[in-house]
Amino acid sequence: MNFSALSLFASAGVAETYFEDHGVHIKVASELLPQRARFHEHLYPDAKMFQGDITDETVYSEVINAAKKAKCDFILATPPCQGMSTAGLQKKDDPRNRLILSVLRAINDLKPKYVMIENVPELLQTSIYIDGEWKSINNYIHEQLDANYFFNEKKVVNAMYYGVPQSRERCVYLLSRKSTRIHWEFPKPATQVCTMRDAIGNLPSLDPNVTDISEEERKKLFPHYYEKEAAGLKVSKWHYPPKHKLRHVIAMMHTPEGHSAWENKKFYPTLKDGRKSKGYKNTYKRQWWDKPAYTITMFTSRLGSQENGHPGHPITESDDENERIWSDARTMSILELMRLSSLPDNWNIPEWASSNVIREIIGEGVPPRLLEAALISLENLIGERDA
């Protein structure tokens, strides 16, 4: 394949990580947030990035004119999902839900051969107010594009069936202009999934970087902390210990694989004054080695966010939580998050990017191997058509 592409709502470009490998060249990109746009420019120096609000007429015109000049015949659009996601407030009138209108406008203006639109599955049940009435986004997309484009039948796919060690459901539209004579679909989902053990099981164990204790206390609690840290950094500069508070670490040290510290009778999450805190049962929770990771969010530095805990290994195995001790009482390292999101170990992270920025970008990005599976399917379909 050899396509010039426009990436709308590009963020840092996680979604298009493997596009170049399949002949889809990002020539033009648009992103609202300056840090995300700067990250994208670092990863894709040959792409023309427009940082700004795509709903602004000036910005939109600049993007579309640049895409026309670059002869973009492929559009990737990943508009923000927070307004529709179950992790958000799901306000009916969230203005972010209307950003799909800019995508449809760009498609109608550029008339590309192929389009990929990615969002959360809730998009299919979300409505926006347009032309004086509430309309289903899904119905409106079809209303606008059915005349000129074929649509894929199965739009909701789970990344774990496409080479990603993470359970993450996404809604992905695969559109092909009718003149291409291509009916673009995802390949059949795999019967076997990649687990956390497959993805990160060979990485060195890390003790958490407890920020509210002295060095003397660290030596007592984690006598091999610096040895482990050095072993991690030898693998990658992105495999280093995440920072946590002592009271959270103690709770996780007594929590086994697949369980939450809320299940403990004694070593549960507490407030600064020692009183038991409140939280959801899926927080302060370790994951399972032999399952794909749970959906990665933007808040992976927090043990108190959903299902972020490393699976760990038993140091002292016991049904008695007073005696039970498990390793890796922490969230995932950045390298572990990269692997669980199907990013390569040599992902070219800019030096200026902070840990929080990197974690947010990984959490908000669609796992790139999922979209690569769709590109491989398109390659095969084009090859069959042209044979």
Catalytic residues: 81
- CA 99, 105, 108, 109 torsion-angle sign: negative
What whole-number distance in Å separates Cα of residue 147 and Cα of residue 130? Answer: 20
Which phi and psi (to 5°) does residue 29 adopt?
-145, 155
What whole-number distance in Å separates Cα of residue 53 and Cα of residue 67? Answer: 16
What whole-number distance in Å separates Cα of residue 284 and Cα of residue 305? Answer: 7
- Of 1, 9, 74, 10, residue with least CA distance to 42: 10
41 membership: H or E segment, kind and range: helix 34-43
DSSP letter for 292, please: P
- Of 324, 322, 345, residue with least CA distance to 335: 345
CB within 8 Å of 263: residues ≥ 6 apart: 255
